[in-house]
Amino acid sequence: MNVTQSIIRKATPEDASQIFELYKTVSKNIGGLARTENEITRAYVENFSNKSFENGLQFVVIDPLNEQEIIAEIHCYQLEPGVFKHILSELTVAVHPEYQGKGLGKQLFQALLGDVQLNRPDILRVELIARESNIKAIQLYENLGFKIEGRFENRINNGNNSFEADIPMAWFPSKIR
Ligand SMILES: CC(C)(COP(=O)(O)OP(=O)(O)OC[C@H]1O[C@@H](n2cnc3c(N)ncnc32)[C@H](O)[C@@H]1OP(=O)(O)O)[C@@H](O)C(=O)NCCC(=O)NCCS
């Protein structure tokens, strides 16, 4: 599938329905998103979108050749306690399975981190957590400058009495801003 025509832009409240459909599709493949398909609800999507509009960032990729369909999304936002106000947290990224491995995830991160670097001097840290087996994602995050900060042993329950570690990672803007 050709993604050279795809467009990255900030999300709007009107995108919620399409983002919901995207997350439903991406969550069908086990091993990526933490939530399973039946845990992706409209309330979940509206909640993270609203928080991202209020104090965080949310970008989408649209495919202009396919009726403006949203094919990828990234978001993160500030947590409520004042002590965490310099952090963008709860970062989640999802690329439609048919469009994965074509550079869209990397481009979404570059848009988000570039915006933080330029326009959010209040943000000193962007954090995320990825399951240890999601090697492709962890490699991408490291290439983007995220640092592995530790290891949450047995944090992910894969069912059938099988658990795996979750890997906390963080990115820091450069001091020249
Ligand atoms: C993880 C995810 C966001 C990455 O986005 P993507 O668009 O597929 O990744 P990109 O095409 O931007 O690739 C980024 C890097 O990973 C590499 N990569 C891509 N597909 C790969 C594959 N199948 N195997 C190994 N490396 C791969 C690319 O080479 C690229 O590295 P480079 O910049 O050095 O060339 C996306 O695959 C996804 O949505 N997965 C399901 C949900 C998920 O896991 N979310 C993250 C939860 S923490």
Ligand 1 centroid from CA 101, angstroms: 5
List of E strands, 101-151: 125-131, 147-148
- Predicted confidence pLDDT, tens digits, the chain (177 residues): 677 788 999 999 999 999 999 999 999 999 999 999 999 999 999 999 999 999 999 999 999 888 889 999 999 999 999 999 999 999 999 999 999 999 999 999 999 999 999 999 999 999 999 999 999 999 999 999 999 999 999 999 999 999 999 999 999 999 877
What would the two tokens of residue 4 be? 């050279």
Range of the domain at 138: 7-171
Q: Is residue 32 part of a domain?
A: yes
- What's the number of domains the chain is made of? 1
Chain segment 66-82, per-residue pLDDT in tens: 888 999 999 999 999 99
For the stretch 151-167, pLDDT in tens is: 999 999 999 999 999 99
Q: Where residue 15 sits, what CATH number does that domain have? A: 3.40.630.30
Our mutation pick for probing the ligand 1 site, out of 6, 100, 109, counting the most ligand atoms within 8 A of Cβ, is 100
Q: How far apart are CA 36 and CA 28, in angstroms?
A: 7
